[in-house]
Amino acid sequence: MRSSDSVLDSTFVNQWLRFHVGLVIFLGVVLINDSVLAAGSGPVLSDQVITEAVESALLVDKSVPSHLIDVQTHQGIVTLIGSVPHYRAKKRAVQLVETVKGVESVINGLTVKISQRSDEDILRDVNRVLDEDPVTNAYAITAAINDGVVTLSGTVPSWAARELGAWVASGVKGVRDVENSLITELKEQRADSVILEEIQKRLKSDVWVNEDSALVSVNDGVVTLDGVVGSVAEKRRIANDARVAGVKEVDESLLFVKAWAQGKMQRKREVGYRSDAEIKETVELAYLYDPRVSAFNPTITVRGGIVTLTGLVNNLKAKRAAEDAARRTRGVLWVKNFLKVRPGEEMSDEVLSRKVKLALHDDPFVNGLNIGVFVLNGRVILHGIVDSPFQKNQAEESISTVKGVVEVKNNLNVEGSWTWQPDPIIKRDIESELWWSPYVDSDDVTVSVKQGVATLSGTVDSYLEQGIAIENAREGGAKEVESLLTIRKYLEIDVLPNGAK
């Protein structure tokens, strides 16, 4: 079933900057040793090694109950068996597995525990969240339910909007599955050549993929992807990028995931220059396909690879989505987000506080946590203690769509967030985290650790890769992380007025 992969992917990508992509190698367990090394090629990713990597990735992630999930690997195909408390945990478990090197496919055998809630109560909340979301409330979506399985029908303007509708509905407590029957209504037919050109632009601009990995062809609106990529996550991104306006179907059956692809499975280093004009055009295209942003038409200026966003939006999530889309654009060195959130209607702090608390209650990842809320003039301050960095960030994400919230100050503390280990062990675990990430070229990053503080130096290809490397270090056991990483420039930076650069 493909009900909400794109929106989950977007949310997951946002979390990359603040969470983790791989696993922690525990003291006394060394996955990379003489028995699994091949000369000059790095670790041989046997099924056993992949299984241990997946088990560890699930174990360190507090959003999924790893103790209830069994992992089996056969020829790189990972099967997950067990139960999870809610539908989004089922989807997140798969996302975590897809980012582990060596995984060629994921079979999701997880089941969602049966809720004590009635279908009537679940459906009422599904309709409420669809109506309250600042994007889906404009769509004609009809929801039905049978034994916890929600079916969505109606028409929406784009594939991304279709996925967003399913994602919003999936967060309601008691939802066991989502059958997405939403239909994308095309405003006009587009020539295959136009569709192909747009897909190639999206692939070229996406920092998460190597656009040379897939051959793209279009026939009567049907896109066929052919090639070999290094991770399931990259395959997902390529397929999502291919779903532009006018596409009827994307056939990814000939796009294979192989462990040997792209050397160590990282995206090939970008070559050539990207002018400021090219970056601006790419960001504009990204906004066109992001339903969170498309309605607001932010003003985009680019100088020396630095993107500046100005304008008005009516919700905080739109402001964040605009920044995230710019970050994911190849060639962008930094993003200055000056977008202003103007909800457009007056709301008392008391009413907004109730709405924020309800949003936290609705989110299955943070429901039940002791999170305090203080609201002043649309600014929300969160305080309390949570179990993981993921929960801290998820609490912030869950209230960003609440109309009236203009800013969030996240003062949540993560309980037991750091455990002392010897510096050499932390260094080893960080290097392992970097190696396992399909999005970081670990050969270009040097790690040093002193008294638990990790220092990263070297070069990375993008803003996002820098952020991922920093979070890899935190997940590898660092108490603090100091980044001396520089972003590799492929641009000629213009001379600014008065000779400044």
For the entire predicted model, the pTM comes to 0.77
> Which of the four pLDDT bands, split at 50, 70 and 90, describes residue 93?
very high
Angle between helices 316-327 and 276-288 (to 10 degrees): 130
> Angle CA(193)–CA(266)–CA(56) in degrees, nearest 5?
125
Task: Tell me the backbone φ, ψ of residue 421, rounded to 5 degrees.
Answer: -145, 160
pLDDT over 90 percentage in the chain: 45
The yes/no answer on whether domain 119-184 falls in CATH 3.30.1340.30 is yes
End-to-end CA distance of the chain: 50
Tell me the two tokens of residue 323.
């920044």
pLDDT over 70 percentage in the chain: 85
- What is the per-residue pLDDT across 204-225, written as a single tens digit (0 to 9) for each? 888 777 767 789 999 998 999 9
Count of Cβ atoms closer than 10 Å to residue 110 Cβ: 21
Count of Cβ atoms closer than 10 Å to residue 2 Cβ: 11
Highest mean pLDDT among 186-195, 258-267, 367-376, 467-476: 367-376
- Which regions of the chain carry the CATH code 3.30.1340.30? 119-184, 276-341, 349-414
**What pLDDT sits at residue 60?**
76
Q: E strands of 211-333, at which residues?
A: 214-219, 222-229, 249-257, 299-303, 306-310, 312-313
Q: Residue 262: pLDDT above 60?
A: no
Q: What length is written for the chain?
A: 501
User: Rounded mean pLDDT of 170-188?
Assistant: 89
Q: Residue 264: pLDDT above 50?
A: no
d(CA 398, CA 272): 39
Tell me the two tokens of residue 188.
């006009």
- What is the per-residue pLDDT across 277-316, written as a single tens digit (0 to 9) for each? 999 999 999 998 899 999 899 999 999 889 999 999 999 9
**What pLDDT sits at residue 182?**
93
> Which of the four pLDDT bands, split at 50, 70 and 90, describes residue 196?
very high
The yes/no answer on whether domain 349-414 falls in CATH 1.10.3720.10 is no
User: Rounded mean pLDDT of 257-271?
Assistant: 52
d(CA 332, CA 326): 7
The helix/strand/coil state of 498 is: helix
The helix/strand/coil state of 70 is: strand
The CATH classification number of 423-487 equals 3.30.1340
d(CA 52, CA 42): 17
- What is the per-residue pLDDT across 113-169, written as a single tens digit (0 to 9) for each? 888 899 999 999 999 999 999 999 999 999 999 999 999 999 998 899 999 999 999
d(CA 442, CA 433): 9
The CATH classification number of 276-341 equals 3.30.1340.30
Tell me the two tokens of residue 294.
């498309």
Mean pLDDT, the chain, whole residue set:
83
d(CA 456, CA 445): 7
**What pLDDT sits at residue 114?**
85
User: Rounded mean pLDDT of 388-408?
Assistant: 91
At the second CATH level, the architecture of 192-265 is: 2-Layer Sandwich (3.30)
**What pLDDT sits at residue 38?**
36
User: Rounded mean pLDDT of 62-78?
Assistant: 91
- What is the per-residue pLDDT across 422-468, written as a single tens digit (0 to 9) for each? 888 888 888 888 877 767 878 889 999 998 899 999 988 777 788 88
Which helix (DSSP H) or strand (DSSP E) does residue 159 occupy? helix 159-170
**What pLDDT sits at residue 261?**
55
Residue type at 326 in one-letter notation: A
User: Rounded mean pLDDT of 323-348?
Assistant: 90
